Chains A and B, each alone.
Chain A
């Protein structure tokens, strides 16, 4: 309370300061002002760390440059690569954490918050988040009732990519539900091509299949419970999702043979390569990158995607990932940066350059550089339910180990989709051992 009162007093003063600076041209930049009255923090220095490097780092530094211009503060960005937990842990131990960190793992957000290393968002920042984000994203940034995180970047793993040439040739249409999805795959397979190519030499694409179906058949609450292993994998809801999957996995006519030995990259090549053998491949938005690397199909022209089909009239739901900004230092300038990151204006600096899918609902989607990235972003912000990739939230012994646990059991399930109770029991055994 004390803090917010102080803040309320400070804001008008600070905004006066900003106006003054702009009028006298003291900021030196001369760029556009986003109109955010964040305050004047000239002379203050902020440390920001994240996993981004290369082009992503440049784009994010452009976002931070706008903040520097608005407030006069200096922001230094450093990349910790994929060593988020280790790097932050060391810095916190050493008493000099960065002001703001961007985390890709909700589990890390939770453990840092529970250990008291994160600063909950101020009322202003909270208001900005509530204005701009849907409930799912707010929940994902909340630990024990306190909101800590601003999701700056999102990714969409509920995209089904298809070769439009083969779809046109077969007369297949974009399906809007699971039954129609299976029908279209049959139409394609009638035309002599495999309906869909599955690359399951390692299990992670199959866990993403399951997560998408489960989120649609069981809903977000059950999804959370299963993620935390509050309900067992022998639950009937799991059986229901596996039965839906078995409609596809059990029908050899629909997907390309040899799935368990195909790498994921190869499954993309089988659809978008020089000599396509299948018409559809399911995985997240990053498939666009695989297609571009292959170079035989053009994303947006003959390589298109549709949303993962609804099952039993389920609402639009997205499984995905993202990067969340959290504050580790309790001061005004850090709070100002968190507020800034929650605004659509911050994301809109990066969005036109490509590579950012913003979970912020108020970002102007016309700014996305192409139709495909716009469509991905609209699916992400338009989803009624958004959930983080389950296999990233479970202990890695269960959800992230090649040859074991969730990954391997899903491969066995693809090989023999008839044994649903056995699959559930195997999953439950693996989960019990890992949690």
Chain B
């Protein structure tokens, strides 16, 4: 706009008299006209870009209330806070992982989809996440990765697959009645101390829901008398529905627990004999030699089964958020690279193929180098984008893993508006972010300039 408007003005003055004063005045007029046309843009840039940056710099030297000049205190505080270091570390992880993954995936999609029919349909599907707002995508991912398999689809799938291979035990989560002289070790419930043949060992258990015990279970009975080479006992649910009764006693209303394996473990740790409880919860281990045994209910009776992965915990949270980012932005990289691909000269690829180059050779020696300008643009754009990542990190982690997932933009927001109300420190963080983004912006601007001069 400005250029085309200025050009005729120049030619018109050129055609006028060549006098010195008229040249100076025409230059002044030219400058004025340029200024008039530039003014709206300058005004907007000044108000929306330059002023906020300058104000942020100024603000970062004042305290939380904004009334007191504190010099570099905010910067000192910024670099002595643990949360800033976590944020910087996470930002580094982000910058290393996310743009590379997105670009590589985008490249693979673009090159592969270039050669198949229905490419547009596939591209549309891969590009679709771009149409979803980051916030909504974050909510979706948070739901998907919930730890509870009843809520999170990812863990539901993992648990489902796992249950194909392992059987869940009949009594998951069972525990012993406190003060019953039993010990729990690694899920195995055992008698505390040695038991000799000819005696009894009872197991009052709790923590099992009355409505989840098998149907054949009957009222618990006292164990039968043990022969000289036998150990007998009862395993029962030591809870009466509705309460009452005496803990550790076999009483009316307490159910036996059938189908529990009971091992007699010899002193050397080997299993001497084993038995299974019947409907009344009674078991009878026979054929025992003299000696002492530990009676154990192995952990296989009580295993909880596979519970899925703690995706949103402190260790995996950043990985999950980066995954959601890649899900969204791989489509962007693909579209950009695909457009670059459609613009390159196909005859070069054809020629290479004619000369007998393999497809891999064609890709590495011809396609990839021709695509490199657009790949770099995509890469640098993604780096800038990733450095200022906010929404996903703000939405996905549950409160307990928020500190572990922190990034600079979120830290800046929390400190200045999210309850900290310290906009001085927040401004310092904003400047740190600006400084980190600058190099990639300079690279991008340079590339644009080179391209134009070409």
Contacts and interface: CB of A to CB of B under 8 A. Distances in A.
Interface of A: 168-173, 186-187, 189-193, 200-203, 253, 258, 260-261, 263, 396-397, 400-404, 407-408, 411, 415
B210 A400 contact: no
Contacts of A407: 399
B399 A258 contact: no
B31 to A, nearest CB: 45
B147 A261 contact: yes
Contacts of B398: 201-202, 260-261, 263
A253 B208 CA distance: 13
B241 interface: yes
A202 B399 contact: yes
7 pairs of A and B residues whose beta carbons are closest in the complex: A171-B243, A401-B419, A192-B209, A260-B400, A190-B206, A202-B399, A201-B398
B238 interface: yes
B103 interface: no
> Interface residues of A: mostly helix, strand, loop or mixed?
loop
Nearest to B313: A261
B414 A403 contact: yes
Given A201-B398, A408-B403, A191 B209 contact: yes
Contact of A403 (B175, B209, B242, B403): B403
27 contacts: A169-B242, A171-B239, A171-B243, A171-B244, A190-B206, A191-B210, A192-B208, A192-B212, A200-B400, A201-B400, A253-B207, A258-B147, A260-B398, A261-B310, A261-B313, A263-B398, A396-B420, A396-B421, A402-B399, A402-B402, A403-B402, A403-B403, A403-B418, A404-B414, A404-B419, A407-B399, A411-B399
B312 A261 contact: yes
Interface of B is mostly: loop
B240 interface: yes
A70 B173 CA distance: 65
B210 A192 contact: yes
Interface residues of B, number: 37
Interface of B: 83, 146-148, 173, 175, 177-178, 206-210, 212, 238-244, 310, 312-313, 398-403, 406, 414, 418-422
A396 to B, nearest CB: 5
Given A171-B240, A201-B399, A192 B420 contact: no
A367 to B, nearest CB: 36
A382 B371 CA distance: 77
Contact of B173 (A192, A201, A261, A401): A192
A85 to B, nearest CB: 12
A407 B418 CA distance: 13
A260 to B, nearest CB: 4
A163 to B, nearest CB: 14
Nearest to B405: A403
Contacts of B400: 200-201, 260-261, 411, 415
A412 to B, nearest CB: 9
Given A261-B400, A408-B402, 17 more contacts: A169-B241, A170-B243, A173-B243, A189-B175, A190-B175, A192-B207, A192-B239, A202-B399, A260-B400, A397-B420, A397-B422, A401-B418, A402-B418, A403-B418, A404-B83, A411-B400, A415-B400
B239 A191 contact: yes
Contacts of B239: 170-171, 190-192
Contacts of A168: 242-243
Nearest to A405: B419
A291 to B, nearest CB: 19
B104 to A, nearest CB: 32
Residue of A172, A396, A403 with most partner-chain B CB within 10 A: A403
Nearest to B422: A397
Contacts of A200: 399-400
Contact of A396 (B206, B241, B419): B419
A339 B310 CA distance: 57
Contacts of B208: 192
